Amino acid sequence: MAISSTLWLKVGRAMQLGLEGVAGATLFAMMLLTTADVTGRYFFNSPILGTVELTQLMLAAVVFLSLPVVCWREEHVSIDLLDSVFPTGLIWIRQVIVNLIVTGALWVMARRVWALGERAMEWGDVTEFLRIPNGYLVFLMSIMLAVSALLTLGRAVLYFLEGIKVVKRGGPLSKGGDND
């Protein structure tokens, strides 16, 4: 039984909205914390203890929760040095290669970061002031790197399928493709 592409689009959209929602809520919490800390520090001479640690943890969470969405939409910082010299008909080959390289790099990072998470849990690593365990955040980072690797691999497959004309419309090379 084949699963319709509409179902996959709905699942993908739900995942995207979920990750963006959690990242946005974390960013909002970071803003509220910073505002409360500055207000307490300057008007009441009573700063919130551990604000720097909490901000660092939340900033890491925002970055890594946003990474899968950035990878799927291909919204990375990029340089178009080769765009003018690359034949238009072969862009799909370049994109397959680039996405495969990014997939490999993300996968290597995910594995390494997972090992660091295991070590942090074994050693009982905690933040300096609030004593919050670091391992959970490191595992989140690793999982988001792995999800990002899978999404860039999916991008490479889509570019390949559209390049060899298996997918005729709606792939990443098409106007109004599935990046949106």
pLDDT in single tens digits along all 180 residues of the chain:
344 557 767 777 888 899 999 999 999 999 999 999 999 999 999 999 999 999 999 999 999 999 999 998 888 887 777 777 878 888 889 889 999 999 999 999 999 999 999 999 999 999 999 999 999 999 999 999 999 999 999 989 988 988 888 877 655 666 555 544
Long-range contacts of 109-118 (CB under 8 A, 24+ apart): 109/145, 110/142, 110/143, 110/145, 110/146, 110/149, 111/142, 113/138, 113/141, 113/142, 113/145, 114/139, 114/142, 116/142, 117/141, 117/142
Q: What are phi and psi of 171, to 5 degrees?
A: -85, -175
Contact 92, 64 (CB under 8 A): no
CB atoms within 10 A of CB 149: 23
Q: What is the domain partition of the chain in residue ranges? A: 5-163
